[in-house]
Amino acid sequence: MAIKTNELEEKNNQLTGMSEAVTPAVPGLHIVQVPSNLPLIYIRRALEQAVVGGCSAYTLEFEKSQHLVSFLSVSKNQHEQANALYRNNYASDEGELPRVVLLGKNQFDVFSPEGLLYVTLKTGKPSKKTVCTMQQQIRSTFQPCQVESFIKLQTHAREKEICFIVFLQSDLAPDAIGCTELADEYLLLKHAEPYAGAVTSFSVNSLNRQWLSGLAIGNLQMSTIWDIDGSTKLTTESFIHKELKHRLAWLARHVMVMGYDEAGKLLGVTRQTVWRHAAEIIVPTPHILPDHNFIDRQLKFSACPDPVDEPQDDWSPA
């Protein structure tokens, strides 16, 4: 199968000139909104690992950090378990291990006066390139006292040169929460049908980079995958579609350059279905795609030897 590379290379050349507009995250307060239908524990661990390791995907831009301070609302016993899990998750072949500090506190509310005081005291003298993460459940619009705590925490982060990442678990619209304009970066996560072998998949939409959406910047799809050592790995690609069947049809047509008949036979659907699924997706040329071997494996995994019977239409493309 041929790989459609000319268009992608041209796109990457265009993106090279946009590097100044897509700079790494600055010290401050960054929000990651996670809906209730996504497993926050896996997503938080995977994103923490990506941020600490340094990532550059035109949506998540973080320089490599040496220290991670993770605030958890857990009991003492759960704290020990989480500590072992984090140590295992951040081990590397080179033997380098970022300093991971787990601060457990039951019913931890970062935007309460007590929570704000606790966070500022624990991060009073941070090391350079420190990332602090915490999570908070939000069921209603931010109250004035929460907005005040938000601004104070943001000021503390900038003064101490810390990247604070708050995972907000909420099904409210970002505007309804009331902090999109305050955050230095606001990432909105949504559920996406996972690939085979993935624990979960989700789209990441940067509300701060909507001006660059025409260049396929600011909207990613990520998947968390269990590794054999028990850690989670994060795969990244440009967002194409939330449903797997549409995504595979688009990849088969526009990346693997398969004909409608060939793709339909492999996926177990008619050529009309392949055309319909691929045609429904209107996206700018993606700049980050899965490895073609990965796409080939996914297509073969989804292969069905007996295509389903669907009405044949004369208007379908050749």
Instruction: Please report the domains of the chain, with CATH numbers, ordered by start residue.
Output: 22-238 (3.40.50.300), 244-301 (no CATH)
pLDDT the model gives residue 32: 92
pLDDT the model gives residue 22: 58
pTM: 0.78
pLDDT the model gives residue 99: 59
pLDDT beneath 50, residues of the chain = 1-3, 19, 58, 92-96, 306-318
Give the Cβ contact number of residue 114 at 10 Å: 12
- The 10s digit of each residue's pLDDT in 178-208 is 888 888 889 899 999 988 878 888 988 888 7
pLDDT the model gives residue 76: 67
pLDDT the model gives residue 61: 62
pLDDT the model gives residue 315: 41
Residue pair 304/268 in contact (Cβ under 8 Å)? The answer is yes
State how far the alpha carbon of 201 is from the alpha carbons of 50, 205, 252, 262, in Å. Answer: 15, 13, 20, 27
